Structure 1
Amino acid sequence: MVATLVAVAYPVGVATVVGFGVLACILSWQHERRQGGKDTVEFFLTARNSVSAFTIGWSFYAAAMGSWALYGPPSYAVSAGILGITFYSIASGIPIMIVAFLGDILQSKLPGILSLSDYTYKRFGRFVQLYVATMMLFNMGIALTAEYTAVGDLFENTVGSKRWPIVVIIAVVATLYTAYGGLLISIITDQWQAFLSVIVVLILVVYVAVDFRTPLPPIPHYLGPGNYNGLSAIAVMPISLISATIFSEAMWQRCWASANSRALHTGALLGATATIVVVFIFAFGGYLAVWSGLFDVNDPNADYNTILFLLFKDRTWLLVIVAVLSATMSTSAVDSIQNAITDSVGATLVRPFFKRADVTWIRGLVVLLNIPPVVVSLKGYSVLQLFLMANLITTTTTIPLMAGLWHGPRGQKVVTPFSMMTGSLVSVSSLFWWAAIKQTADQTYRAALYRVFFVAYDYPPFLIALGMSIAGLVVGAALEAAFRAVVPGCGRYPVYALDDNREGLDARLGVRLGDVTQDSVPEYPAAGKGADAYPAGKQYEA
């Protein structure tokens, strides 16, 4: 069976990935011909106001999902039970709605916004921008590594082949069409990738519903609604996944790309709903495998990454379908993260310091920034462990960063660069304090830290990180107010306004795509009217 599975799954999986790559390149070429080569660097990175509600909805779904969903939610069912997978599913979709709401606010205030770091710079200045951008790159780098790891795990542990060929193929194909077509082509291919993944999910659901006949014993206590990890999920999952999504440029890019406010909110609702449903299906598959006894929780050698696939054991054709699903979901997630990382680095590091940089620099970044995640993914680290570390780190800064939206006269005195950084750093420090408190007599401090950041999806660290970020923000504001009150000449607060009438990055810096500047790009009609239209929006043909 293994030889047959390898012989079939690998060619089909590779053909699917390459097929999407070819489609993306064709679409990129067609779009370039229609626009006459007049797309700007800004449009390459943001696809500004060009995508309809239906398309952006599929893109939100494709960006949120990935082959990690075949591993994370099913394995979480073992420890968190029905309550845990329910909140995991809900918390996977709700952040899309939150980012859409916040993105709408940001784009109305900053029509030329290029990335979340643009907002950070306008509201908090350059130092905080670099700090936040570093955290975003860390979070997205972890997400990209987890994606490569997940698809590699499937082909190594389930298909029975080496992990590196499929990882390298997905990385190379996604990198090529992302570097060629930019965000718009990534979004357009998302709808095809998302549609295929939904079809495959439906096939798997129908098969399990019709064929699964394993007798079900009484639900064990660890799968019931009252277990500790399941109750912890009520806090852990919303906090962790909202924070991780806030620090993922992939979601914010879809806000900038939406044609107007209505398209953004409608698409976010569609994407969030699809994400919640599909994540729950995968998670419940793992729950069903454990409940039925197909997975032995008492086996110390049990592979938690293969729980879902136990439902399809001895069904080669189904495992081939799963391989196609994994490759498809991985490619769509990878190209989204690639674009997001490129946007973040381009806006934060390249643009301000290398103002003559053109799109060649951006395309080069797409290639270079993919190498470290590919290398690390070949080590085969646990997907859940990778996400836990990133989720905790981003939780420390989410509230202080988003509090900057309070930017009136009083908000300028409370949410300052100093108080924002104080809130974040106090929160980070609190996690190290918590590890010291939880250290046992027979445990080293390093082992205690490892458990906090890599092992336990427990509610105390997340609540502590969230609460201490708020407390640190308040304390920082009070300290700054006291300092300004007693030190002569420091009584006036600097003003960081969010209102911005700029046309965008290209107009601001004169950056060129080829030999074309923003001024030479033809004007397009506004994407919407009245409250639905963004102030500086241009409608491009997708």
Structure 2
Amino acid sequence: MVTSTVALGLAIATLTVFTVIGIGFSRGRVDSVEDLITARNSATGGRTTATLIASVMGVWILLSAPEAGALYGIAAVIGYGIGEAIPMFAYSKLGPRIREIIPDGHSLTEYAYARYGGAMYAFVLTVSVLYMFVFLAAELTGISLAFQYVAGVPQWKTAILVGGFVLVYTGYGGLRASIVTDTIQMLLILPLLIASVALVIFALGGASGVYEGIVTTDPTLLDPGFVPGIRFGVALIFAILGAELLNQTWWQRIYAADGADTVERSFRIATVANGLILVLATLLGIISVGNADVVTQFSSENYNAGTAFFLLLEGAVAEWIVLGVLLLALVLVMSTTDTLFNALSSLVTADLPRLLVDPDDRTLRIGARALTVIVAVAAIAISLRARSVLRLFFVADLLGTAVGFPLVYGLFTGRLSGRSALASSLVGLAVGSAFFPFPFGLHRTLDSLLGGSLPAPDPTYLLPFAGAFLASTGTTLVTARISNDQFDLDRLSHKIRRLDEPATDGGTQMEADTEVTE
């Protein structure tokens, strides 16, 4: 049994090392708010690829991915792998397009305002912030649960330690600090993950021992024809694709890369790497069910599939292996937490020139750092009350699946108006919500308010996620087809400018012609 003293010592030492690296690298390199939130054209191909991999690989891959595998089997493995690969491939096409038509951009929300107008902007801002905030809370929940389960460390201690240390170096160094620490973290994550899985399989008697344990416990987990598993696997593809289209993380890195070729190449490498890593991580859940006491009925008070991999470690491997997995989990959560801190603060900071009267660079930098602190404190508070990382993600994913396609479709056509994009998003959200198994009895409450007209929730999540994505996509394509609007996409490069450049034409930096876009 790993003691809390050893676990906390490991955490503090690791967090201190990366904090020193982040601050040391960014010292003297953050001279403006542009440097803080964009690090424009500064990342080479290797660093861009590393940060794309590390930014995805949060502690959730040791918690929600195995949880999905434990619940739905091999189909969830395939679904998670494909689902995580597709957004990376999509951004290999979207990234160069974004740099081409908005060369001086910073965030997806400033694009939404300039392209679609105020109403769609407000909706996208709300959804994007909620998605990334829930993602952040899920990460802190995950690492807190892991340390609590393995070493008995109270959740609040782990959450505050991780959130506090990461806040120090991201608040100081911004995106530059995040990218350099991501690079080092990625070099640790891959070998640690592979070694952890290999050592666990060896300790369980090799591949044959693992297979026998699964077949004896629940053979349906290995059945590719298991219908609930197939439905869940397909649902994951829709959920992850839609949600990642609303993730400011990728927009930041598109601009941080040193060229469009770097963006395309790095996202393609991440397509393969992230897909394979998720396959491996989700398999851990199936292995855990076959070789540990995993309770997969969520209605049960003993439900513990959210810590399936750590249940597997208990008593099956040596203490030093458990410590290695804890180190892996800590590095994973840091790689994602610093990314999300930066992404959330950059969203609002990029909008401040439009909201404030001619703010100077110092004001913008203070605003960015203050917002990072607020986000960190709120996420830590939420993480102390959450129970399932997977279900935290699903609430956020529902929002993304409804908004993702209408948002990015405007990069390729001028025929989609702001009203049509917003209407399409709301249609998708309404369809998805009708089938979504909301927690805390919310679905029953909504059904009661609507006079019992809602259909039964889909526990495999296929209908809510596929319904939201396909409904919003279909509505977007139809409305753009019949629309008479014609927005000139070349105007985006004039409406969205660097934060250290003065506004021109007597307007603000993100002023949009709303009579055209709305």
Could you tell me the TM-score, scaled by structure 1's length?
0.82
Preserved contact between residue 197 and residue 329 of structure 1 (Cα < 8 Å): yes
Q: 1:351 is aligned with what amino acid?
A: P
After TM superposition, the structure 1 = structure 2 runs for residues 136-215 of structure 1, keeping only pairs within 5 Å, are: 136-213=128-205, 214=209
Alignment match of 1:28 (pick from 8, 26, 29) = 26
Q: Give the equivalent residue in structure 2 for 1:248.
A: 247
Deviation at 1:377, TM superposition (A): 0.5
Q: Is the 8 A contact 1:80 1:223 kept in 2?
A: no
**Separation in 2, partners of 1:256, 1:333:** 18
Contact 1:389 1:453 in 2 (8 A): no
Partner secondary structure for residue 422 of structure 1: helix
CA contact (8 A) 1:193 1:328 kept: yes
Per the TM alignment, residue 26 of structure 1 is displaced from its structure 2 partner at its CA by: 1.2
CA deviation after TM superposition for structure 1 residue 453, in Å = 12
1:126 pairs with 2:132: no
Decide which of 352, 355, 371 is 2:354's aligned counterpart.
Answer: 352
Matched, 1:401 2:377: no
Partner secondary structure for residue 3 of structure 2: helix
**Is contact 1:95–1:245 with CA below 8 Å preserved after alignment?**
yes
1:337 aligns with 2:340: yes
| Partner Cα distance (1:388, 1:473) in 2 | 23
Aligned to 2:7: 9
One-letter code of the match for 2:253?
R
Q: Is the 8 A contact 1:146 1:386 kept in 2?
A: yes
Residue 500 of structure 1 aligns with an amino acid whose one-letter code is S
For residues 88-107 of structure 1, the aligned pairs below 5 Å read 88-107=80-99
Among 104, 107, 113, the residue aligned to 1:112? 104
Aligned-pair CA distance for 1:93: 2.8
- Asked whether the equivalents of residues 153 and 380 of structure 1 are also in contact (C-alpha less than 8 Å), the reply is no
Paired residues, what number? 481
Q: What is the CA-CA distance between 1:278 and the residue it aligns to?
A: 2.2
Contact in 2 for aligned 1:9/1:324 (Cα 8 Å): no
Q: Within 5 Å, give how 1:51-62 maps onto structure 2.
A: 51-62=43-54
Q: Does 1:466 align with 2:465?
A: no
CA 1:180–1:286 in structure 2 vs 1: closer, same or farther (change >3 Å)?
A: same
Instruction: Tell me how far apart the structure 2 counterparts of residues 186 and 81 of structure 1 sit (CA, whole Å).
Output: 34
- Determine the structure 2 residue equivalent to 1:500: 493
Question: For each residue in 1:327-367, what CA deviation from the matched residue of structure 2 results, as whole angstroms up to 9, or x when unmatched?
Answer: 1111110000000001111113x221113133112111111
Question: What secondary structure sits across from 1:307 in the alignment?
Answer: helix
- Asked if 1 retains the 8 angstrom alpha-carbon contact of 2:432 and 2:468, the reply is yes
- Please tell me the residue identity of whatever aligns with 1:44: L
Bigger CA drift: 137-146 or 295-304?
295-304
1:17, distance to aligned residue in structure 2 (A): 1.2
d(CA) in 2 for partners of 1:446 and 1:381? 24
Q: Does 2:380 match 1:369?
A: no
Q: Which structure 2 residues correspond to residues 36-55 of structure 1 after superposition, within 5 A?
A: 39-55=31-47
Other structure's SS at 2:149 match: helix
Report Cα offsets for 1:288-332 as digits up to 9, x if no partner. Answer: 121345535579424112211233223322221111111111111
Same amino acid, percent of matched pairs? 25
Comparing 283-292 and 147-156, the one that deviates more: 283-292
Counterparts in 2 of 1:433 and 1:170: CA distance versus 1, 3 Å:
closer
Instruction: State the Cα distance separating 1:417 from its structure 2 match.
Output: 0.7
Give the drift of 1:248.
1.0
Post-superposition shift, 1:460?
1.2
1:286 corresponds to which letter in structure 2? G
Q: CA deviation at 1:443?
A: 5.8
For residues 151 and 136 of structure 2, the distance between their equivalents in structure 1, rounded to whole angstroms, comes to 22
Q: Which amino acid aligns with 2:339?
A: S
CA shift for structure 1 position 432: 4.3
* Residues 476 and 503 (structure 1), Cα distance of their counterparts in 2 relative to 1, 3 Å cut: closer
Give 1:76-87 correspondences, 5 Å limit.
76-87=68-79
* 194-203 or 135-144, larger mean C-alpha shift: 194-203
Query: Is residue 435–residue 458 contact of structure 2 (8 Å, CA) maintained in 1?
Result: no
Gaps spanning 5+ residues in structure 2: where?
505-518
Q: Compare 58-67 and 198-207 and name the one that shifted more.
A: 198-207
- On the 8 A contact 2:95/2:260 being kept in 1, the answer is no
Q: 1:342 to 1:28 in 2, by over 3 A?
A: same
Deviations 1:94-141 (A, max 9, x none): 312212321210111111011112221221123322221111101001
Contact 2:66 2:286 in 1 (8 A): yes
**Partners of 2:53 and 2:456 in 1: CA distance:** 28
Secondary structure of the residue aligned to 1:500 is helix
Contact 2:78 2:233 in 1 (8 A): no
CA contact (8 A) 1:139 1:390 kept: yes
Aligned to 1:290: 289
**CA drift at 1:419:** 0.7
**Which runs of 5 or more structure 1 residues have no equivalent in the other structure?**
482-491, 511-542
C-alpha contact 1:75 1:286 (8 A) present in aligned 2: yes
Shift of the 203–260 alpha-carbon distance from structure 1 to 2, 3 Å rule, reads same
Distance 1:379 1:221, change over 3 A: same
Q: Label 1:416 to 1:302 Cα distance change in 2 as closer, same or farther (>3 A).
A: closer
Measure the CA separation in 1 of the matches of 2:319 and 2:233.
Answer: 37
Is contact 2:106–2:251 with CA below 8 Å preserved after alignment?
no
Mark the CA change 1:107 to 1:477 in structure 2 (over 3 Å): closer, same or farther.
closer
Query: How far did residue 446 of structure 1 move?
Result: 5.4
Instruction: Answer yes or no: is 1:421 the counterpart of 2:422.
Output: yes
Distance 1:432 1:210 in 2: 44
Please list the CA deviations of residues 452-510 of structure 1 after superposition, one character each: whole Å capped at 9, or x if unmatched: 999834211122212221343356558876xxxxxxxxxx7665645525762211449
The 3-state SS of whatever aligns with 1:241 is helix
What RMSD in Å do the two structures reach over aligned CA positions?
2.8
Once residues 433 and 268 of structure 2 are traced to their aligned partners in structure 1, the CA distance between those partners, rounded to angstroms, is 37
Q: In 1, distance between residues paired with 2:157 and 2:116? A: 44
Counterpart of 1:306 in structure 2 is: 307
Q: Aligned equivalents of 2:275 and 2:141: distance in 1?
A: 22
Asked if the contact 2:76/2:282 (under 8 Å) is kept, the reply is no
* Structure 1 segments (4+ residues) deviating >6 Å: 451-455
Give how far 1:258 is off: 0.7
- Given that residues 430 and 464 in structure 1 are in contact (C-alpha distance below 8 angstroms), is that contact kept between their aligned partners in structure 2? yes
Partner amino acid, structure 1, of 2:128 = M
CA distance in 1, matches of 2:444, 2:366: 51
Per-residue CA deviations over 1:256-293 (Å, capped at 9, x if unaligned) read 11111221122223333332222222211221121345
C-alpha contact 2:108 2:248 (8 A) present in aligned 1: yes
Q: Which TM-score applies when normalising by structure 2?
A: 0.86
Query: By how many angstroms is 1:162 displaced?
Result: 0.4
What corresponds to 1:523 in structure 2? none
Distance 1:257 1:52 in 2: 9
